[in-house]
Structure formats: C-alpha cells, structure tokens
Amino acid sequence: MEVTVIIEAPDGTLGEVSATGESYLQAREAALALAPEGHKAIAIRTGGQ
C-alpha cells in the first residue's frame, strides 16, 4: 500500500511525503514520520498496490 500525505509548513507552504507499507496503517505512519518537524498533515491519499 502506498500513502501520500499532503503537509503544510509553518509558513503555509504545501508539500507532500509518500511511503509504502504492508498495510494502510504502516504506510501512513511511515509517511508521517518523513514530515519535517513543525509541519502538519492536512490530507492523506492512498494509491499504489
């Protein structure tokens, strides 16, 4: 499973981080761990296999 998380920086700019895992929960946690400190998740998309 692949998960992409749209993140917002403290200055309001948007970015995204993606990760894969055996399940949605594993992929989501892996993607959230890639977000820089101070950024917040504003959307989560699933895709891939």
The tens digit of pLDDT for each residue in 8-47 reads 999 999 999 999 999 999 999 999 999 999 999 999 999 7
Residue 43 confidence (pLDDT): 97
Residue 49 near residue 2 (C-beta atoms within 8 A): yes
pLDDT at 48 over 80: no
In angstroms, the CA 45 to CA 27 distance is: 11
pLDDT at 49 over 80: no
Structural element, H or E, at residue 6? strand 2-8
**Segments making up each domain of the chain, as ranges:** 2-39
Q: Which amino acid is at 47?
A: G
